[in-house]
Amino acid sequence: MITIFKFVLAHGYSILFVALFARQIGLPVPGLPLLLAAGALAAAGRLDVIPTVVVAITACVLADWVWYQAGRSRGDKVLHFLHRFTRDPDFHDRRAKRIFARYGLPVLLVAKFIPGLDAVSPPLAGVSRTSLPRFLAFDAAGAALYVCVYGGFGYFFREDLDRAAVYAVHAGTILLAVVISGIGIFIAYTLIQRIRKLAVSQVARIAPAADCAEPVDMPYSMIGEPRDDK
């Protein structure tokens, strides 16, 4: 951790951008220690907070945009390429598609906290023909969350970055659970609202039909003759 700290200190914003871009492209670069170091340096006044956050988010989004474009132009071949070293690439392709189909673009908000899902989410957005503005909006929000959580731990625990790394790992897991629960609650709420609207619309269609029904004329013979009680 100290080595990474000194490395970021020596090269500043440029190494932060290059390293995070490389990580999002798929190279084995540790993103969490880099952000912890950047946060600690920002707290010490060696880096400015706003430029550090902007550089980190930009690096992540640019790399994800490359994968998004690859998925949009090459389709499932990109997913198969990402899973080529797994035991069953087709199974992993199908599982990734099911996850994305279930949660949609909001999965980009937490993808960077989940190894594996982080790599396939941008190309999946391209494969699903998601519009570029919507993809960039969700991806930038997810990148901002990722940068602020891990960079924030480095900022507030700059005196003990090793402990900050432990806290950051647990924080990522807790945040992931919270966000997924929130997405599930939102989906359930949306489904309930749609069911209610459907029920109301069905009642509204039935009511006019009942009001417009013509009264049934009873034959005179069924009414009967007037009774004479005298």
pLDDT in tens, 107-126: 898 888 877 788 888 999 99
* Cα 124 from Cα 111, distance rounded (Å): 12
Q: pLDDT band for 98, please (50, 70, 90 cuts).
A: confident
Q: pLDDT value at position 176?
A: 62
Residue 8: CA count within 13 A, CB half-sphere: 27
Q: pLDDT value at position 179?
A: 62
pLDDT tens, 170-220?
555 666 666 667 667 867 888 888 888 887 777 766 655 555 555 555 554
Q: Which of 75, 72, 71, 35 is nearest to 53 (CA)?
A: 35
pLDDT tens, 31-49?
788 888 888 888 888 889 9
* Cα 42 from Cα 152, distance rounded (Å): 10
Higher pLDDT, 53 or 225: 53
Q: pLDDT value at position 154?
A: 81
Model-level pTM? 0.69
